[in-house]
Amino acid sequence: MENKQDKTKILKDRYIPTSEFYSQIIDSLQDYSIFTLDKDFNINSWSSGSTKIFGYETDEVIGESFDIIFTEEDVKSGIPKREIENALKEGRATDNRWHIDKNKKLFYASGLVFPLIGLDGEMLGYVKILRDLTDRKQSEDAIKNYVEELEDLNTHKESVLAILSHDLRSPLSAIIGTAKYLKENFLKMKPDAVQEMLDLLYKSTTDELAMLDYLVEWARIKYAADGFTPTKIKLTDYIDKVFETLNETASVNAINLHHEIEANTSVFADGKMLISIIQNIVSNAIKHTEKGGTISVSAKSKDDKIIIQVKDTGIGMTKEIIEKLFTPQLKILSETRKKNKGAGIGLLLVKGFLEKNGGEIWVESIEGEGSSFYFTLPIEKPLNKICSSDEIMFDKSV
């Protein structure tokens, strides 16, 4: 009769899976990248699922650093090392972020890394498990962006309606009143008085049309995609076009326009919108710069964007005005229109154009010394970048 020890040996031989068995299971998981790292964070095993997701064959990646699957930006930020440190501290580390494959193509993945401990408790290395969730993430982002656009539209709807009602309707009532007075009293009015009222009518109506054009264009760009064709374009060509258009206006007040931008500087943007952005900002600078002043445009690159600065030696702005400069509120627009010769609506248009092109705008100013408007535009066609803190937990997602 077999003793207990012999029976246990027979059961182990028959039923305990071998390392080859586990290797086959891992290789069958084609939707997952599973690989291991040694204690120096170099890859020392690579599943067929890893080859499918990253594109590297096993012999291409063995011995390579853990950094190879991360973007250059994440490597510089110390993300790979941080993952390992969290895994050692917590027993495991989960992360959701953009990774890079053999062909430098970005994909979004949910990952898990944990220490690999031997039978005797010794540290052997680390295990990394990762799943490509790009399609799912892009679908979620599309829904999220759509919801944000609806919320944004609802937020601005009342403000825009108020602007139309107050800043357009009220002056129109004054225009009608002036026209009515002329109609009823024209024959008994002096020619100088008639001319003065006609001049007032002309100025008021042209101001109303300009404001309406701004509002329509702002709304069209912010909420419609028609006519939006961004490409890689040479920045200096557009600066020169604006300077050529505004040079006569600037010369009347002896204002010097110049730029300090290298000829090969390019941005990825819609050309028509870029012209409007630069023209609005430079035009506003001219209006607020005293005779003999200077307006300069410069640019510098930072990461994947170009930062353009339009600096003037004008009257400057208070902190309160700066804080509300790009806010589409009735009272603010009315005040900026009266005090700053229509700057409020134009800057709303600029902000809408920049947001459409993946850029942003901000201002620095000192009263009595001048202002600097800064805005950014991408250098290349932007890629979707998702924050690694997005709530897609590994255990639930896969």
For every one of its 398 residues, what pLDDT tens digit does the chain have, with 9 covering 90 and above? 456 666 655 555 555 555 555 555 555 566 788 888 998 999 988 888 888 889 899 889 999 999 999 999 999 999 999 999 999 999 888 888 889 899 888 888 888 998 988 777 888 899 998 888 877 776 776 667 666 666 665 655 655 665 566 556 667 777 888 889 999 998 999 999 999 889 888 888 887 777 777 666 666 665 555 567 899 999 999 999 999 988 888 888 899 999 999 989 999 999 888 988 998 899 889 989 999 999 999 999 988 899 999 999 999 988 888 887 876 544 444 444 444 444 456 787 788 788 888 899 999 999 989 999 999 999 998 754 433 333 333 333 33
Please give the CATH architecture assigned to the domain spanning 4-132.
Answer: 2-Layer Sandwich (3.30)
The CA R_g of the chain, rounded to the nearest whole Å, is 32
pTM for this predicted structure: 0.50
Q: What are the residue ranges spanned by the domains of the chain? A: 4-132, 140-378
In a 3-state reduction of DSSP, which class is residue 337?
helix
Can you list the alpha helix ranges (DSSP code H) found in the chain?
Answer: 4-15, 19-28, 48-54, 58-61, 72-76, 79-90, 134-163, 169-185, 191-223, 235-252, 271-287, 319-323, 330-339, 343-356, 394-397
Per CATH, 4-132 and 140-378 having the same topology is answered no
Q: Which helix (H) or strand (E) holds 33?
A: strand 32-37
* C-alpha closest to that of 228 among 179, 273, 292, 282: 273
Per the DSSP assignment, residues forming a β-bridge with 100 are 106
Confirm or reject CATH 3.30.565.10 for domain 140-378, answering yes or no: yes
Quick one: CA dihedral 17, 18, 19, 22, positive or negative? Answer: negative
Q: CB neighbours of 184 closer than 8 A, spacing ≥ 6?
A: none
Sheet holding 294-302, edge to edge: 256-259, 294-302, 305-312, 370-378, 361-366
